[in-house]
Amino acid sequence: MSLFERLREDNKAVWQRYTQHNFVMSMARGDLPEESFKTYLQQDYLFLIQFSRAYALAVYKASNLADMREALEGLKALLDVEMELHVELCAQWGITKTDLEALPEASETIGYTRYVLETGMSGDLLDLQVALAPCILGYAEIGRANLASMPEGPMAAAYRRWFEEYGGDAYQEAAGAFENWMNNTAADVMTPVRYGRLSTIFAQATQLEGDFWQMGLKQVV
């Protein structure tokens, strides 16, 4: 198995709780409360600002130009494509890009993003890639699994747009490129003794992803 396949298999329970979280399932049905989705989108925009910094850190951590270019492509995709989806969807509530940037970060946003950044700063490129993987590859799996869903209700178009973004060819190709990049890094630098730490990083980042979904649901509890 590749590194990602092994990490996902060895952390199956937490991975399934994240990728099949009730937030995601409610989106697929169309009954996720609007306020939950709105909260998630706003915080995810702030999350992506910090995630962009993590990709910039990957440029620094890279040991060769090929890895630097991979990290740069990911950074550009975040800044030029993924963040714009959030701006597009938030516009339905009259929320502008300026409004989004002025929002305070929720504790879940701070906890997750700083964990990724600290992991990258204290470790090497592979540690950082593993910390990034649950978001990048998890969203690809969620988008792919729910691409054929037909949400109902007043937010159906927005939820459908979200699944189309992450289940669509462009994101799937980008996620596949990231997976290959991480697996190639592992082939170069991973030793058997390192796997335990990498699995711990992966499990923690995956748990924090699930907590991020739960943050949205808390708005209606």
Q: Domains of the chain by range and CATH?
A: 3-220 (1.20.910.10)
pLDDT of residue 86: 94
> Does residue 221 have a pLDDT over 60?
no
**Could you identify the residue written with the tokens 């711990």?**
200
Contact, 205 vs 15, CB < 8 A? no
**Separation between Cα atoms, residue 41 and residue 52, nearest integer Å:** 16
Question: Residue 165: which of 64, 72, 81 has the closest Cα?
Answer: 81
**Separation between Cα atoms, residue 131 and residue 118, nearest integer Å:** 10
Q: How confident is the model at residue 220 (pLDDT cuts 50, 70, 90)?
A: low
> Does residue 73 have a pLDDT over 50?
yes
Q: What is the pTM of this model?
A: 0.94
Mean pLDDT along residues 178-201: 95
More confident of the two residues 180 and 219: 180
